C-alpha cells in the first residue's frame, strides 16, 4: 500500500497471464530478453495484470480492469489466463464491492486492460462490472476501438466496452485531463491510438501508472518495446520522458504487467536509462 498525499493506492491483481516473449520485446533478440524473462515451452512469458485502487477524498477510483471473465476456453488456454475472474474476487478480499467504485479509468481498450469492464449477468447479458462507476477513456481510443477499421481487426472486442455507452457510464476525455482532484489522465498514444498514463499528484507526492508505455520493469530501456506498439517510435520517445519524471521527482512508478513488482522507485543510470532502486525491489510485492 502506498500513500500519495491524501490518496491510498493499492495494487489489485486482475489475474496473471502469458504472452509470447518475442512479441513482448519487439526488436530485442531472444538471447537478451530470455535472461530477464525466461519463456515457457510455448515461448510465453509470465505477466501480471495489475490494477490499482486509488482511495481518498471520498472517491474510489480503479485503474484498468484486467482481462475479466469473458474469455473463451481457447483464449484462456492461449494466454494461460489465471484465475477465472481475478479482479472482482481480489477486490472482495480487500473488502471492496464493485458497486462502491466511483470511477474506472482505462489506460486503453485492449482486452487485458478493458476485459474486466463488463461481465455476463445470470441471463447471459453483458453488463458493466461496476454499475455505479463512470468509465473514463481517451476519445482517440474510443474512436479507434469503435471504428470498425480493418487495421484494428481483433484488437478491440466490443463486448468489453460497448454497453457503457447505452448505460450512460462512458466519459471521454481528450489530452491531459483531471479526473478527480489530483488524479489526471495524460494521453500518450504510442502503444495504442488513445493510450493514456494516469498521474496521481497530491500533497507534494506523486505516482504514475505507466500502462503499456513500459509494461514491465524490463522494458525501461528505450529500445525495449513491444511488437504490439502501434507507433513504436513514439513509445521510444515518450517512455524515457515519463520514466524521467518518476525518477527525478521521486514519484512511485506503477506497473501494469510486471510479474514481480507492482510499484517501484526509479533512478537514472548512465546513458539516460533507468533502474529500480533497492527499496522498491525489497519491499513491494506484486498484487495485494
Strand residues in the chain grouped as ranges (E): 2-4, 7-13, 17-20, 44-47, 50-56, 59-63, 103-105, 118-120, 126-128, 134-138, 170-173, 176-180, 183-187, 196-202, 205-209, 252-254, 263-264, 266-269, 273-276
CB-nearer residue toward Zn ion: 202 or 258? 258
Based on CB atoms, which residue is closest to Zn ion, 112 or 229? 112
Determine whether 188 is exposed, middle or buried from the number of CB atoms within 10 Å of its CB (0-12, 13-18, 19+).
buried
CA neighbor of 113 nearest in space, from 47, 52, 65: 65
Q: Give me the phi and psi of 160, to 5 degrees please.
A: -75, -15
Q: Which of 64, 212, 229, 258 binds Zn ion (CB under 5 A)?
A: 212
Q: Shortest gap between Cβ of 209 and Zn ion (angstroms)?
A: 12
Q: Which is nearer to Zn ion, 201 or 212 (CB)?
A: 212
SS3 (DSSP) at 20: strand
Residue among 206, 266, 173, 192 at smallest CA distance from 235: 192
Contact pattern from residue 159 through residue 198 relative to Zn ion, giving x for each residue in contact according to CB under 5 A and a dash for the rest: ----------------------------------------
Instruction: Give the x/- contact pattern for Zn ion in 3-42, rule: CB under 5 A.
Output: ----------------------------------------
> At residue 254, what are phi and psi to the nearest 5 degrees?
-110, 125
CA dist 115 and 75 (Å) reads 12
Using CA atoms, how far apart are residues 140 and 172, in angstroms rounded to an integer? 9
Total binding residues toward Zn ion, as defined by CB under 5 A: 2
Q: Name the minimum Å distance from CB 49 to Zn ion.
A: 7
Span interacting with Zn ion, options 118-126, 210-218, 246-254, 260-268, rule CB under 5 A: 210-218
Hey, how many other C-beta atoms are within 10 angstroms of the C-beta on 270?
Answer: 5
Nearer residue to Zn ion within complex by CB, 19 or 180: 19
55 or 112: CB nearest Zn ion: 112
Find the shortest distance in angstroms from Cβ 101 to Zn ion.
21
CB of 236 to Zn ion, least distance (A): 18
Instruction: Verify binding: residue 229, Zn ion, rule CB under 5 A.
Output: no
Q: Comparing C-alpha atoms, which of 234, 225, 223, 163 is closest to residue 193? A: 234
The residue range among 61-69, 121-129, 148-156, 206-214 that interacts with Zn ion, by the rule CB under 5 A, is 206-214
Q: Is the Cβ of residue 5 or residue 39 nearer to Zn ion in the bound state? A: 39
Return the residues of window 80-119 that contact Zn ion according to CB under 5 A: 112
Binding positions for Zn ion, rule: CB under 5 A: 112, 212
Amino acid at each position: 500500500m502506498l500513500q500519495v498525499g491524501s490518496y491510498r493506492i493499492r495494487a489489485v491483481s486482475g489475474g496473471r497471464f502469458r504472452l509470447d516473449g518475442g512479441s513482448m520485446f519487439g526488436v530485442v533478440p531472444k538471447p537478451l530478453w530470455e535472461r530477464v524473462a525466461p519463456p515457457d515451452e510455448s515461448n510465453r512469458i509470465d505477466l501480471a495484470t495489475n490494477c490499482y485502487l486509488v482511495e481518498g477524498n471520498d472517491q474510489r477510483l480503479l485503474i484498468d480492469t484486467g482481462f475479466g471473465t469473458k474469455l473463451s476456453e481457447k483464449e484462456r488456454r492461449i494466454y494461460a489466463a489465471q484465475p477465472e475472474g481475478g479482479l472482482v474476487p481480489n477486490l472482495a478480499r480487500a473488502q471492496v464491492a464493485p458497486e462502491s467504485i466511483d470511477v474506472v479509468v482505462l489506460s486503453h481498450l485492449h482486452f487485458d486492460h478493458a476485459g474486466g469492464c463488463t461481465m455476463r449477468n445470470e441471463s447471459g447479458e453483458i453488463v458493466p462490472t461496476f454499475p455505479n462507476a463512470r468509465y473514463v477513456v481517451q476519445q482517440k481510443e474510443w474512436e479507434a476501438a469503435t471504428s470498425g477499421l480493418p487495421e484494428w481487426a481483433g484488437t478491440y472486442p466490443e463486448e468489453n466496452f460497448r454497453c457503457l455507452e447505452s448505460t450512460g457510464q462512458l466519459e471521454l476525455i481528450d489530452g491531459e485531463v483531471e479526473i478527480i482532484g489530483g488524479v489526471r489522465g495524460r494521453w500518450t498514444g504510442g502503444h495504442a491510438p488513445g493510450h493514456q498514463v494516469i498521474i496521481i499528484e497530491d500533497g507534494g507526492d506523486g505516482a504514475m501508472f505507466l500502462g503499456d508505455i513500459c509494461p514491465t520493469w524490463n522494458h525501461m530501456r528505450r529500445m525495449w518495446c513491444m511488437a504490439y506498439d502501434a507507433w513504436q517510435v513514439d513509445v521510444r520517445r515518450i517512455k524515457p520522458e515519463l520514466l524521467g519524471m518518476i525518477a527525478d521527482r521521486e514519484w512511485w512508478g506503477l506497473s501494469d504487467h510486471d510479474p514481480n513488482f507492482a510499484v517501484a522507485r526509479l533512478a537514472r543510470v548512465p546513458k539516460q536509462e533507468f533502474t529500480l532502486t533497492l527499496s522498491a525491489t525489497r519491499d513491494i510485492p506484486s498484487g495485494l
